[in-house]
Each structure stands twice: as structure tokens, then as C-alpha cells.
Amino acid sequence: MIILACDHAGYELKEQIKEFFNKENITTIDVGCYSTDSCDYPDFAKAGNEKVLEGANNVGIYICGTGIGMSIAANRNPKIRAALCTNVNFAMLARKHNDANVLVLPGRYINRTRAIRLIKVFLTTNFEGGRHLRRIKKLKGA
């Protein structure tokens, strides 16, 4: 399942992404926010994390203005590996090397087309395991 979360600065892009998934007949869970009224990204990172962790194959897409606040907030949960990505290589490597379960996008600095391109790559790239698994296991002690 794909979980969408945003703050007011990510709302517009989140709606565009939701519409993209709807057209593809892919179900998403939208934990908010639901308007451009000012709100606090930690609330939505928390709501998103809770849903992402309900299913082993769940993936989150979180959006705030820069993506930085959502990344910091989401990564407070030790089971979440949230990666702020602005290009296709980052989106690919976030999955291959980091087994990221949340893609974070900067709503104010990325357009719909590029966001969808990153999302497609993120959702279709597998974790490589091996030495990268060893490193992920060490994150516990970081």
C-alpha cells in the first residue's frame, strides 16, 4: 500500500500524485493534510509512519516545502528509512542501497512530472542487500 502524507507546502503536489495513482487504479492512503491551511509536518510524518509500519510492503511518499522537515520527523522512528530525493539517481539508490521505505519530496522545489518520474523509479527498484544490509543493521547503533 502507498501512504501519502504532506503539510500545507506539499499539499498541491500530494494531490497531483494522488490523482496520478487514481488514474493508474493504484490505491493510496492519504493521511493528510487536506488543504493549504498552515499545519505542522511532524503531525503528518507521524501519521504516515504509523500506516507505513502496518504492512511489510507499505511505502510512504511524504511531502513538505523542502522535504527536510518531513525527513527529520519521519526518521525519528527507527523502523523508518526516509530518503529526501530530488533526482532519479537518488530515488534509485535510496531503494538499492538504503532500502528506504519512505520517499520524501520537496513540494516547493519539484514539479509534478519530475516527482512522478522519481516515484516510478522508487517503486520499481529493489534493495540490493549484501553489504548494504549489513550497513542498515548498523543504523540501530548510530
Scanning 11-19, 52-60, 62-70, 91-99 for contacts with ligand RB5 by CB under 6 A, the matching segment is 62-70
* Distance, CA of 87 to CA of 93 (rounded, Å): 10
* Distance, CA of 66 to CA of 95 (rounded, Å): 20
Choice between 108 and 132, CB closer to ligand RB5: 108
Residue 81 near residue 58 (C-beta atoms within 8 A): no
Residue 104 near residue 85 (C-beta atoms within 8 A): yes
Where do the H-state alpha helices sit in the chain?
A: 11-23, 41-52, 68-74, 88-96, 112-124, 131-138
Amino acid at 62: Y
Per CB under 6 A, 41 contacts ligand RB5: yes
Which of 133, 71, 75, 69 is closest to 104 using CA atoms? 71
Place of cell 540501530: 140
Scanning 13-21, 49-57, 64-72, 92-100 for contacts with ligand RB5 by CB under 6 A, the matching segment is 64-72
User: Taking CB under 6 A as the criterion, which residues in 5-24 touch ligand RB5?
Assistant: 7, 9
Among the listed residues 46, 81, 97, 132, the single catalytic one is 97
Candidate list 65, 81, 114, 116; residue touching ligand RB5; CB under 6 A: 65
Minimum distance, C-beta of residue 68 to ligand RB5, in the bound complex (Å): 4
Whether 97 is catalytic is yes
Candidate list 33, 64, 93, 121; residue touching ligand RB5; CB under 6 A: 64
Instruction: Note the residues at the interface with ligand RB5 (CB under 6 A).
Output: 7, 9, 41, 64-66, 68-69
Kindly list the catalytic residues.
97
